[in-house]
Amino acid sequence: MTLQAVHTNHAPKAVGAYSQAVKCRDMLYTSGQIGLNPLTGEMVADDVASQAKQVVKNLTAVINEAGASLDQIVKVTIFLEDMADFAEVNQIYADWLGEHKPARSTVAVAALPLAAKVEMDCVVALG
């Protein structure tokens, strides 16, 4: 089995020992993205809406770099620091994917890296 790391400068560099995404056979597994600006490496803002909008931009960049499109997303996991932000993040998520409705899980977590309010990762079918 061959694994191929995916990297784009249009998404933040990994802040740890991992790849932005990994291709395995005809699947793509993205690492979690938080609301970091890829140019500065800083959080875009303190509010969940701004962070969620940056998260989906970052994920889109990684998915596109792998040669895939958003309609190939099979599963998304959303991690929220506060479940009270669910409706706001859900609307941004819905706007991002439009009519495409992959499987999804949303979980509340005690904390996220760099004090992020939201993180998302995806599983994408390639080919």
Average pLDDT estimate for 107-126: 97
CA 125 to chain centre: 15
Nearest to 86 by CA among 117, 55, 41: 117
Q: What is the pLDDT of residue 32?
A: 98
Q: What is the DSSP secondary structure assignment for residue 38, as one 8-state letter?
A: T
Q: Where does the pLDDT of residue 18 fall: very low under 50, low under 70, confident under 90, or very high at 90 and above? A: very high
Domains of the chain with bracketed CATH = 3-125 (3.30.1330.40)
Q: Where does the pLDDT of residue 110 fall: very low under 50, low under 70, confident under 90, or very high at 90 and above? A: very high
Q: What is the pLDDT of residue 1?
A: 81
Q: What is the pLDDT of residue 67?
A: 97
CA 108 to chain centre: 16
Average pLDDT estimate for 29-37: 98
CA 56 to chain centre: 6
For the segment 48-89, what is each residue's pLDDT rounded down to a tens digit? 999 999 999 999 999 999 999 999 999 999 999 999 999 999
Nearest to 104 by CA among 84, 121, 83: 121
Indicate whether this model's pTM tops 0.95: yes
Q: What is the DSSP secondary structure assignment for residue 110, as one 8-state letter?
A: S
Cβ neighbours, 10 Å, residue 103 = 10
Stated length of the chain? 127
Q: Where does the pLDDT of residue 42 fall: very low under 50, low under 70, confident under 90, or very high at 90 and above? A: very high
Average pLDDT estimate for 12-27: 94
User: What's phi and psi for 51, nearest 5 deg?
Assistant: -65, -45
Q: What is the pLDDT of residue 14?
A: 87
User: Which residues are 75's β-sheet partners?
Assistant: 103, 123
